[in-house]
Amino acid sequence: MSLLVGGGEFPDECYVALVDAGTGERLFSETGRNSNVMDRRHWDLTQFIGRSAYIEIGDVSTAYFGHICVDDITESGNRLTWSTGNAKGTGKKSRGVQSMVAPDRARLLANTPNPFNPSTTLRFELAAPSRVRIDMYDAGGTLVRTLVDEARGPGSHAVEWDGSDRNGRPVASGVYFARFQVDGALVDTRKMMLLK
């Protein structure tokens, strides 16, 4: 799951959290970074598939910069059923997750941001434990860097590319392609643009 978050840095007063519906435990929590600029945060829900949870947004600070901004909540392809209302006994707004199930197939999602500078995040999903490889190629078809080459479990995953080659040197502006292989078979290719 990913979401945009901005606002004041008050973890106990201005936050967005994923909360276990049964225990009230915060599974993930984000606060602002004292900026109105919203940045993308990512939550890997893989270990929580099958649990009931809700999103809680707390905004109770009285400080000058005391607010939380949340937008563009994306479930990254996991099938989720939402309900809206107040978190039990808190008066805070929430969106309840009724069910979460594993993705039904392997796929590489669009990278964000795109175009990018200096880095971008690639998200991918797996329906079962698999050997994953993600290679970055330039427009001429030359291998620039391997981002992932390992076994991963089912669910949603994310990896960041910082725009560097296999030696850590920044690559030039231009078009690049992410090639996504699962258990040795090509599954997806995504085009992206690095602008400097």
What pLDDT, in 10s, does the model give residues 46-58?
A: 777 777 778 888 8
Q: Token pair 């030359």 is at which residue?
A: 142
Q: Which span out of 5-14, 80-89, 92-101 was modeled with the highest average pLDDT?
A: 5-14
Q: Token pair 């991963």 is at which residue?
A: 152
Distance of CA 38 to the CA centre of its chain: 14
For 149-175, the pLDDT digits (tens) are 999 888 888 899 999 999 999 999 999
Query: How far apart (Å, rounded) are the C-alpha atoms in residues 39 and 6?
Result: 7
Q: Residue 145: pLDDT band by 50, 70, 90 thresholds? A: very high
Q: Where are the beta strands (DSSP E) in 22-119?
A: 26-30, 35-42, 53-59, 68-74, 79-86, 93-101, 107-108
Cβ distance 136 to 157 under 8 Å?
A: no
Lowest mean pLDDT among 12-26, 28-42, 77-91: 77-91
